[in-house]
Amino acid sequence: MTDEDKKEQLVGLLERRVFQPVLSITPDDFDAPNDREMLEDLQDNLRAERQRFREEYGSPEEVREAFHDDVSSEEGQELERESHMLGLPFLTDVEQEFDDLCEKLGIAGW
């Protein structure tokens, strides 16, 4: 399996379990204006993050490192809090699954 295949599997997991579920929600799904605004901010952040994972990180190791940096950053923790307030998944919800996939694919690190 090539590095590109490994990267695609990692990004694909995030796509299926976090990005798509959050990005498929519409603000109209929420009654409170604050929740709508929080969703829009969260979606903007996740769109940018999705693009970074797809375009800026060239190796599976870079994807793994960026994932863990995002999970542990202050901004990531704030986004996690907001996501959970809205009842939506976030990166931390798939952390173990992501790490297990890294191990299965032989991606060194963590």
* Domain ranges across the chain: 3-105
- Residues 2-29 have pLDDT tens digits of 999 999 999 999 999 999 999 999 999 9
| Residue 109 pLDDT greater than 70, yes or no | no
Distance CA 59, CA 56 (A): 9
Q: How is residue 70 annotated by DSSP?
A: H
Q: How open is the CA angle 7-13-18, to the nearest 5 degrees?
A: 125
- CB-based contact 86:32 (threshold 8 Å): no
- Residues 28-67 have pLDDT tens digits of 999 999 999 999 999 999 999 999 999 999 999 999 999 9
| Residue 110 pLDDT greater than 80, yes or no | no
- CB-based contact 15:6 (threshold 8 Å): no
- Residues 65-105 have pLDDT tens digits of 999 999 999 999 999 999 999 999 999 999 999 999 999 99
Query: In the structure encoding, which two tokens stand for residue 57, read together?
Result: 């990180």
